[in-house]
A = this chain, B = another copy of it.
Amino acid sequence: MKKIKGGVTAAQGFEAADTAAGIKYQGRTDMALIFSKAPCTAAGTFTSNVVKAAPVMWDRHIVRETDTKVHAVVVNSGIANACTGKEGLDICAATAEAASEALNIPKESVLVGSTGVIGMQIPVDKIVGGVKVLAQKKAGTLEAGEAASKAIMTTDTHNKEIALQIGLGGKSVTIGGMAKGSGMIHPGMCTMLAYITTDAAIEKDLLQKAVSDAVVDTFNMISVDGDMSTNDTLLVLANGLAGNPEITSEDADYHTFYEALFTVCRTLAMAMAGDGEGADRLIESVVVHADTKANARILAKSVIQSNLTKAAIFGKDANWGRVLCALGYSGAQFDPEHVDLYFAGKDANGKEQKMLIFTNGSAAEYSEEKAKELLSGESVQIISDMHMGAESATAWGCDLTYDYVKINADYRS
């Protein structure tokens, strides 16, 4: 598995584009297109929120209930097209219609995605106008992919891309993706918008299985603020242009592909967590030696969801009692007397350090000053050793800062 440059246009046959359609933002790009001339097998996971945005309903139907091949994804930022009733669904149809015409592809082969403010209607003339520009502008360059990844940002501070290369059946296969955060991140299925493209040839059912499996320990293990979005969407498009023998069973090729897909998902998920709204640093919560995998996940997530722990990390304060408290209310059973707690991170010299903080039911001997050093880096690790079994899990979140409040008290204005 080799990391290469690029994102959604890294794989063969994929093109992308961006444009400033004026949907909400003034003077910045707010629409993106992913396009493949070759028809794509599509798989995806979607929000489990009862309130589903119109584009989620549109995509979910095509990807999960039909065998339709997909050619394009049209995404806008600024307005989420959620809680918009029938009018919202009509806008999805109008967008697909416009893309169908401009790109000369079937309407049912167009997926759509939206992110931004809930409740507002997207001006249909603007999105249709945007689609026409995107169709003209699309290109297979890495720059076009990068531009697309920027156009889907809302409160993100930077774009999120990754691409990997693997070998399948003697052929070089590429898998790349882009994603955006950075608030309302608490996936119940997958998180916000993430689009992955690959030139691998793989059967639809197996692609869906790989996606559904991969999200469990990647997108579903991050949380910025505990608010599960109405728009969560992860789509994977596979156009088969790499020419590898089609993956039709869970053989060695499937596992090689799965590992690469998993790495792409984890990288994008961690990037989302670290770029959570207002975040100063990534928090990685590692639970080891839990009794069951389910409990390991529950415990790891409870720590990164604790507002008090998040605020303490913002303050570079080794207030470990809040970590133990969060483990305690997670719902998983354990004996607090048998938990060891560690903080890990880089010290002032940039060296990785791991520090025992709590053991045998009370505080370990540690230096508060040294702990503060470890908590001052770009990323902080909290390790909870449950001493109960062999299962482990990792969850990713971010600190809770003044800027999170600022961003979300002012978001609509």
Contact of A405 among B184, B401, B407 (CB under 8 A): B401
Q: Which residue of B lies closest to A333 (CB)?
A: B50
Say yes or no: A83-B321 contact (C-beta < 8 A), given A226-B307, A329-B49: yes
- Which residues in B have their C-beta under 8 angstroms from that of A319? 117-118, 411-412
From residue A326, how far is it (CB to closest CB) to chain B in Å?
Answer: 7
- Which residues in B have their C-beta under 8 angstroms from that of A307? 225-227, 307, 404, 408
A119 near B358 (CB under 8 angstroms)? yes
B405 near A50 (CB under 8 angstroms)? no
B228 near A188 (CB under 8 angstroms)? no
A311 near B408 (CB under 8 angstroms)? yes
Number of A residues whose C-beta is below 8 Å from B? Answer: 71
Q: Is the interface of A mostly helix, strand, loop or mixed?
A: loop
Which of A37-45, A84-92, A235-243 lines the interface with chain B? A84-92
Contact of A51 among B312, B325, B406, B410 (CB under 8 A): B325
Contact of A400 with B by CB under 8 A: yes
- Which residues in B have their C-beta under 8 angstroms from that of A188? 329
- Which residues in B have their C-beta under 8 angstroms from that of A22? none
- Which residues in B have their C-beta under 8 angstroms from that of A49? 325, 328-329
From residue A300, how far is it (CB to closest CB) to chain B in Å?
Answer: 15
Contact of A306 with B by CB under 8 A: yes
Say yes or no: A317-B411 contact (C-beta < 8 A), given A227-B326, A230-B325, A325-B230: yes
From residue A48, how far is it (CB to closest CB) to chain B in Å?
Answer: 8
A324 near B83 (CB under 8 angstroms)? yes
Contact of A402 among B305, B325, B405 (CB under 8 A): B405
- Per the bound structure, the CA–CA distance linking A49 and B406 in Å amounts to 32
Q: List CB contacts (< 8 Å) of A299-328 with chain B.
A: 305-308, 311-312, 314-315, 317, 319-322, 324-328
- Per the bound structure, the CA–CA distance linking A225 and B308 in Å amounts to 8
Which of A101-109, A204-212, A281-289, A360-368 lines the interface with chain B? A360-368
Most buried by B among A325, A333, A334, A362: A325
A324 near B118 (CB under 8 angstroms)? yes
From residue A50, how far is it (CB to closest CB) to chain B in Å?
Answer: 4
- Which residues in B have their C-beta under 8 angstroms from that of A96? none
Contact of A308 among B227, B305, B306, B362 (CB under 8 A): B227
B408 near A229 (CB under 8 angstroms)? no
Most buried by B among A186, A402, A405: A405
Q: Binary interface profile of A, 369-413, with partner B (CB < 8 Å = 1, else 0)?
A: 000000000000000000000000000000011101111111111
Contact of A145 with B by CB under 8 A: no
- Per the bound structure, the CA–CA distance linking A84 and B22 in Å amounts to 58
B362 near A409 (CB under 8 angstroms)? no
- Per the bound structure, the CA–CA distance linking A319 and B311 in Å amounts to 24
Contact of A337 among B48, B85, B118, B317 (CB under 8 A): B85
Contact of A183 with B by CB under 8 A: yes
From residue A227, how far is it (CB to closest CB) to chain B in Å?
Answer: 5
| 9 contacts across the A-B interface (CB closer than 8 A) | A85-B362, A119-B358, A119-B363, A226-B307, A227-B307, A227-B322, A228-B329, A230-B328, A307-B404
A residues adjacent to B (C-beta < 8 A): 48-52, 80, 82-88, 117-121, 183-184, 186, 188, 225-230, 305-308, 311-312, 314-315, 317, 319-322, 324-330, 332-334, 336-337, 358, 360-363, 400-402, 404-413
8 extra A-B contacts, CB within 8 A, seeds A50-B328, A118-B324, A311-B408: A82-B321, A85-B361, A118-B320, A119-B362, A307-B307, A311-B409, A319-B411, A402-B405
